[in-house]
Amino acid sequence: MESSLSKLAPLEAVLFDIDGTLCDSDPFHYYAYRELLQQIGFNDGIPITEEFGIKNIAGKSNEDVGRVLFPDSDQEKITKFFEEKEAMFCKLASEQLKGVNGLQKLCKWIGDRGLKRAAVTNAPRPNAELMISILGLTDFFQVVITGDECDRAKPFPDPYLRALKELDASPDHSLVFEDSVTGIKAGVAAGMPVVAVVLRGREKSLTDAGATILIKDYEDQKLWNALEQLERSVEAETKTEK
């Protein structure tokens, strides 16, 4: 399992989801949804559970979430709800958002090797750029792709395929970091192995979605063992060519 990234040698590009992957933002989304849904009497005023959020919200685009939460509402009401939700999320994120443990270490590893990098998300662009800015990664990412700017959002592969095209990178030499079933399915469908960040005990569902490696954060030794094996594969190929 730990050496299963070696087929990517030489690694060319690394693509990251944002929510739950670069940062633990899910609690802020959950809080905003819970508060606003309760205000409008959703589910007879009974607050949504975290499990409901994982099943129906995590990793999905606002358009897809809207279809689940408000199947009979008109678009104007749905748009207003999401404007309020995103505003509440942005306020919470601005005050409390932090990167996943070890993120800067991994970004330095990527930067030191001159790898191409993109952020690929179903979040609206203002939210995506806010989170990237808070994390100090605005200059790190060469490309930022949002699902609502593609023909189809995740779980379809379109956002990842577009990122590869803009980076001029091959899926055969690119790696995805994700945290949701929706995102993993998108990365796999785009032809890339996916490393899944498991922040809230969703191991089985993430594995079932096609994740290659599960890690608890970017300090996880499983990740670094796999990256080390990947580099050894490059060295072995170089020696063979000589």
Phi-psi group of 133: left, alpha or beta (phi > 0 → left; psi -120 to 50 → alpha; rest → beta) = alpha
Among residues 19, 24, 64, 158, which one is catalytic? 19
Expressed in percent and rounded to 5, the helix, strand and coil fractions of the chain are 55, 10, 35
The residue among 225, 236, 150 whose CA lies nearest residue 189 is 150
Q: Is 17 a catalytic residue?
A: yes
Beta bridge partners of 196: 178, 214
From the list 17, 26, 179, 220, the catalytic residue is: 17
Contact 100, 21 (CB under 8 A): yes
Q: Nearest-CA neighbor of 181 among 3, 57, 67, 86?
A: 57
Active site residues: 17, 19
